[in-house]
């Protein structure tokens, strides 16, 4: 059992999944973070204090809180119990915008549990990914949140797997975040059960090219981020996002829907291109997009454990 007074500090990056053609497979960790402090308390129950995103009451502050539920689930899987938990969440990742906020919450809970169990029970990387995928349903967001960088995630009969790749240092992400949200369930519901053979072949070629572009040849990013499997089908649910993607791509910027949207991710070839992309978006009449100039996060989620005394 984790001792009373043990505390952990967790940091988890935002993520962008799909990256255009890599539907439910590719994910990228970004330098925007949720941070979490968890302390084992002698007072029964769970208490959650939220700052930043979610402090308006949209995030639960009791045991139904997703992060808290994940912590307790992981502890239970390992046969561990705690009398009580105090959580302080400092959230920066926007909710419902396609930047992996739910995946980050799940990973934060798993990493917090790992820290609380430090020295008591081992939680290897493969198990972390398996538990995160159990909660999220697919590994494309949780893999980069856990491990950082560019990840390829897939499912085997033995469970989810991943490969982490280092991104070319010239690749410079900028994310355009709108004020409105689009539920992930709605976006996914617009996907057809079957797609044309030629569209599948198209995306296979672009996904392969995207790996090469991200790790070696950023000049190929515009062609490599083309997609025919999901973005067009979801356009009706987010017309502003669709219009912005097309505007940016016509101007030569490798723009894609970030995750399930409605944010737009641009994978610029060089840092200066991000400023030009932001100027283009800002010049649009009625533009209400917040530009986030980010870097690729290479570390993934981290946890630091401290004991009283």
Annotated binding site: 94-104
Annotated binding site for ATP, which residues?
94-104
CA dihedral 254, 262, 175, 211 (to 10 degrees): -40
What does the alpha-carbon distance between residue 119 and residue 105 come to, in Å, rounded to a whole number?
24
Q: What is the DSSP string of 248-276?
A: HHHTT--EEE-TTSSSEEEEESSHHHHHH
Q: Closest by alpha carbon to 101, among 37, 32, 152, 24?
A: 32
* Element of type H or E holding 184: helix 184-189
For the chain, the straight-line distance linking the first and the last C-alpha, in angstroms and rounded, comes to 18
CA distances from 136 to 46, 167, 263 (A): 22, 25, 20
- Beta-bridge partner residues of 7: 39, 306
CA distances from 222 to 29, 219, 261, 292 (A): 20, 7, 19, 20
What does the alpha-carbon distance between residue 76 and residue 143 come to, in Å, rounded to a whole number?
23
Cis peptide preceding 262, ω within 30 of 0: yes
SS3 14: strand
């Amino acid at each position: 059992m984790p001792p009373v007074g043990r505390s952990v500090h967790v940091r988890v990056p935002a993520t962008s999944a799909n990256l255009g053609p890599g539907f439910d497979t590719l994910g990228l960790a970004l330098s925007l973070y949720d941070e979490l402090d968890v302390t084992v308390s002698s007072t029964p129950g769970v208490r959650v204090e939220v700052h930043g995103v979610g402090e308006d009451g949209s995030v639960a502050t009791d045991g139904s809180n997703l992060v808290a539920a994940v912590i307790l689930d992981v502890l239970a899987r390992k046969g561990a119990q705690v009398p009580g938990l105090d959580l302080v969440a400092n959230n920066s990742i926007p909710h419902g915008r396609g930047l992996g906020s739910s995946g980050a919450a799940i990973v934060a809970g798993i990493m917090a549990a790992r820290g609380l169990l430090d020295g008591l029970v081992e939680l290897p990387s493969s198990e972390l990914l398996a538990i995160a995928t159990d909660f999220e349903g697919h590994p494309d967001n949780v893999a980069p949140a856990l491990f950082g960088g560019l990840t390829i995630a897939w499912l085997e009969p033995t469970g989810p797997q991943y490969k982490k790749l280092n991104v070319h240092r010239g690749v410079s992400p900028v994310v355009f975040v709108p004020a409105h949200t689009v539920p992930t369930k709605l976006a996914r519901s617009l996907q057809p059960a079957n797609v044309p053979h030629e569209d599948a072949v198209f995306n296979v070629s672009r996904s392969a090219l995207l790996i090469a572009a991200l790790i070696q040849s950023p000049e190929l990013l515009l062609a490599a981020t083309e997609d025919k499997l999901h973005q067009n089908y979801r356009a009706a649910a987010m017309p502003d996002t669709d219009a912005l993607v097309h505007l940016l791509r016509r101007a030569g910027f490798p723009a894609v829907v970030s995750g399930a949207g409605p944010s737009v991710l641009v994978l610029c070839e060089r840092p200066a291109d991000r400023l030009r992309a932001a100027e283009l978006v800002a010049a649009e009449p009625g533009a209400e997009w917040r530009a986030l100039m980010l870097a690729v996060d290479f570390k993934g989620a981290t946890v630091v454990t401290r004991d009283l005394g």
